[in-house]
Structure 1
Amino acid sequence: MYLTRKFHIEGTDQLERLSRSSADLWNQICKWYWRTVDRQNHWLSKTAMRRWHCKGHDVLPSQTAQEVAEQFYEAVSSWHDNDRRGNPPKRCDKEYNVLRWTYQGVTLRDDGVLRLSTKRGEDSILIDWPVDEEPRTVEIGKSSGGFVVRAQYDTEPVDRTTGDKIAGIDLGEKHLAAVFTGQDAFTINGGELRALRHYQNSLKAKLDAKIDRKERGSSRWTKLVQTKNKQLDHIDNKITDLLHKLSRKVVEMLLERRVSAIGIGDVRGIRDRIDYGSQMNQRLHQWAYGEFDRMVEYKAKLAGITVNRVDEAYTSQECPQCGHRKKPSGRDYTCSECGFHGHRDVVGAANIRRKYVGSEDRSRLPGVMASPSGVRFHPHLSCSSRSERKTNRQFA
């Protein structure tokens, strides 16, 4: 499977020049593409555009120049696939653009240094590479503090499982994940993520209000826009770091419990089905379930855990003891038929697990389910948990 390594490097005059040339090429491709569409009603093919603008580029190596056209046509294709909703890639004022090398232009030296090809007669770009595998693609993009490298490489999973338990995982907004293993349960608290999202929204609104009071294009307007982008990028990086740490904690806790297979509730497309008012809709539309789900999935697969998607319809409403459906209010679930009581998200995880296993046997669950152990995120201390607290006595 493929993984992506991201790290920062210091800027150089060579990278600045190449990144600006890449932006100029993007602007040129974008301008002539839409000019041809407007004047001749003709959609230029990628092959024609590469032959016209990319072949024999003065600054960029041929492969990197062709990848600029690839980026543009990927954006156009995404716009077409979305039924031409939203904004197509029409901006022709880029100052910097991403540089991309495929495997033909990437060489991993014996001393652990990546060599990226450039034009004949120029020095190659050298980057320290912390992984033994040679990357398939390398991207270098401009950032506020220099440049960011994103390199994709192939790696083989290492089976770290020690048992044969099956777990169900219910993804949520208040609790990023609720996990039920058949014997115990734990939750991943999303409070830190919600706090970051709230700060991100308030900061964006505050800076947008200041920007709107300035004349567009003025020096003060430009400085405020740069400040806004820098601060929002910083928050995005903190959110990504948080999701990585919590998803890694989920996998480690599954391995501690000797889990070898998991069923994850499939919540894809949920944003198209929700409407709970403007404030709640904003929280749900910023719910990072897709990113967190992806991180849990690939980290679990790297550890040798089998991952499957399970339809999550009615899993939080169905009693795991008797099967009666009831829409819960709040975080607790109490069945009006059999008196079963438990955490709503863990009830969802238990039903997801039952669907994955394919068993209708509900007799193993008790009439009352105590609160699961929880995991909260502590900045500077990675993740801590009370996961070692035994909860087996809750389950018969």
Structure 2
Amino acid sequence: MERVRIVSLKGLSRRQESIVREGQREAARVWNSCRDLHLKARHEHAPWPGRNEYHSATRGGRFALHSQTIQQVFRAFDAAVDAARENRRNGRKGIRYPYKDKRFFPLMWPAQAMHLEAKRIVLPMGRGRPSLVFPRPEWLTGKAACKVVWNGVHYELHMSVEEMDSTVRPLSATEKHATVDLGQIHQAAVVTNTGEALVVSGRGLRSLKRLHSKQLGEIQKKRSRCTKGSRRWRKLGRARAKRTLRYQRRVRDLHHKGIRQVVDFCRERGIEALFVGNPDGVRRNRCGRHQNQRMSQWEYGRDIDYLKQKAAKDRIVCFTGDERGTSSRCPVCGHRQKPKGRNWRCKACGFEGHRDIVGAVNMHQIAYDQVVPFPKRITYLRPGPVRSGQAAGMKNRRPGSSSRLGTGLPSVLDGSCLAESRNQAPQRTVPLRVPSGNSPRTASLG
């Protein structure tokens, strides 16, 4: 199983930085050359070029790069063309084929191009040119495909490493399956066919994204009053890059932790198959500019990818499908209505239950053609703990104080994150009261 590991390249010498920068410019020239070849074929209504045509157009020492690096670039371009074509066939006509001029493009090497020494990684830049030499991490035992990227603050080395899981479990004879309903307020809602449920909160992610949007707005407001290229304009640009990089790290961490809790919940209960609803249709709905911004920041594709990767590592079959109509149908009587609020209240039979759990329960009929009862107990988890120092630092910060960069933004960026769960326990299980009667009712979860 492949896993991408990131190695920070802070502290590169000026010589190495100049080699990387010039190499990325050459890689951008390769991309632009492939773009021109593809655009010419489209305008002339000729057969589109493939990898053989790109290889012929970029060979012969035209670019100051290693030959396999050039191949990786035009393969990435060909993959971008194929992805755009597939999206357009599926009805997304707004997707365009690659058309922009690139100034920089990441340097890439396949595994066979990497040279490993005792304590060094050597990445060739082509005949007659100095190679890139980086320290070798202790966990790197063999050659791996890699690329050097700029994250806005410094360079990083991304390596694709093959990992084997030594703790896989054999499949049991009894088939147990579950469904996952992805969301924004709650990152994931899981329901098993044995009557158990899990809800992973997504409010911390929403808080981080809202805070980042506000910070970008404040920085852009200050930059609009500066002369482009001035010292303060560049200073604000560096502040924006640092905050964006930190935001990306924290969001990625919360996504991984939340999905890990979902997979651990399924593994502990012997789940063999996991169905994940694809909410792509919900994201396309127009709901006003504020909600549209939240929907555009909803990274459900990342959650689906993480679920597939982590489930495969634990030998759980994970597959996706359409979830249309699952959140608007009553799991007891089948009545359809538009839900309002976080609790689902049926106007026909009086059923009440958690809105996301209702969607996950109804997915069993789509994925496994099976009707499961509404769970009586729901376990609530947060993706990660809240550090008390963050909240205290934000609470005690003097109003109007600015950061050391002089941007006017608070130096403590994450004090308000997960504020709604600051005093909550990291895990709680809520029993739902079922009153007497024919139709089950759940307690209001608020």
Determine if contact 2:26/2:64 at 8 Å carries over to the other structure.
no
Q: 1:1-396 counterparts in 2 under 5 A?
A: 1-10=1-10, 11-13=12-14, 15-29=16-30, 55-56=60-61, 59-71=64-76, 74=79, 85=95, 88-91=98-101, 94=103, 97-108=105-116, 114-120=121-127, 122=130, 125-131=133-139, 134=142, 136-143=144-151, 146-156=154-164, 159-160=168-169, 164-181=175-192, 182-272=194-284, 274-360=285-371, 364-365=373-374, 372-376=378-382, 377-379=384-386, 385-386=426-427, 389=429
**Which secondary structure does the structure 2 equivalent of 1:259 belong to?**
coil
Quickly say closer, same or farther: Cα 1:33–1:266, change in 2 above 3 A.
closer
Quickly say closer, same or farther: Cα 1:12–1:378, change in 2 above 3 A.
same
Deviates most, 9-18 or 189-198: 9-18
Distance 2:281 2:26 in 1: 36
Quickly say closer, same or farther: Cα 1:315–1:113, change in 2 above 3 A.
farther
Cα drift, residue 205 of structure 1: 1.2
Q: Deviations over 1:298-322 (max 9, x none)?
A: 1111111111224311111222222
Quickly say closer, same or farther: Cα 1:86–1:228, change in 2 above 3 A.
farther
Determine if contact 1:215/1:221 at 8 Å carries over to the other structure.
yes
Quickly say closer, same or farther: Cα 1:29–1:218, change in 2 above 3 A.
farther
Deviates most, 125-134 or 170-179: 125-134
Quickly say closer, same or farther: Cα 1:258–1:84, change in 2 above 3 A.
closer
Quickly say closer, same or farther: Cα 1:217–1:90, change in 2 above 3 A.
farther
Distance 2:198 2:94 in 1: 43
Cα drift, residue 269 of structure 1: 4.3
**Which secondary structure does the structure 2 equivalent of 1:316 belong to?**
helix
Paired letter, 1:225 = G
Distance 2:228 2:271 in 1: 56
**Which secondary structure does the structure 1 equivalent of 2:101 belong to?**
coil
Q: Deviations over 1:87-107 (max 9, x none)?
A: 945335x3x542110122024
Structure 1 alignment gaps of length 5 or more: none
Q: Deviations over 1:150-206 (max 9, x none)?
A: 112334455347754211111111111111123221101111101111011111111
Cα drift, residue 248 of structure 1: 1.1
Distance 2:231 2:113 in 1: 40
Q: Deviations over 1:318-342 (max 9, x none)?
A: 2222222222211111223333221
**Which secondary structure does the structure 1 equivalent of 2:361 belong to?**
helix
Q: Deviations over 1:109-128 (max 9, x none)?
A: 6x586443344574563442
Cα drift, residue 31 of structure 1: 6.2
Equivalenced residue count is: 385
Determine if contact 1:19/1:98 at 8 Å carries over to the other structure.
no
Paired letter, 2:252 = T
Quickly say closer, same or farther: Cα 1:84–1:314, change in 2 above 3 A.
closer
Quickly say closer, same or farther: Cα 1:358–1:49, change in 2 above 3 A.
closer
Deviates most, 228-237 or 148-157: 148-157
TM-score (norm 1): 0.82
Determine if contact 1:108/1:115 at 8 Å carries over to the other structure.
yes
Paired letter, 2:306 = M
**Which secondary structure does the structure 1 equivalent of 2:328 belong to?**
coil
Cα drift, residue 263 of structure 1: 1.3
**Which secondary structure does the structure 2 equivalent of 1:227 belong to?**
helix
Paired letter, 2:68 = Q
Determine if contact 1:343/1:370 at 8 Å carries over to the other structure.
no
Determine if contact 1:183/1:392 at 8 Å carries over to the other structure.
no
Deviates most, 80-89 or 319-328: 80-89
Determine if contact 1:275/1:281 at 8 Å carries over to the other structure.
yes
Paired letter, 1:235 = Y
Quickly say closer, same or farther: Cα 1:70–1:30, change in 2 above 3 A.
same
**Which secondary structure does the structure 2 equivalent of 1:180 belong to?**
strand
Root mean square deviation, CA, Å: 3.7
Deviates most, 261-270 or 57-66: 57-66
Determine if contact 1:177/1:189 at 8 Å carries over to the other structure.
yes
Determine if contact 1:25/1:68 at 8 Å carries over to the other structure.
no
Share of identical aligned residues, percent?
A: 26
Structure 2 alignment gaps of length 5 or more: 389-420, 435-439, 441-446
Determine if contact 2:110/2:145 at 8 Å carries over to the other structure.
yes
Cα drift, residue 260 of structure 1: 2.1
Quickly say closer, same or farther: Cα 1:259–1:133, change in 2 above 3 A.
farther
Paired letter, 2:61 = G
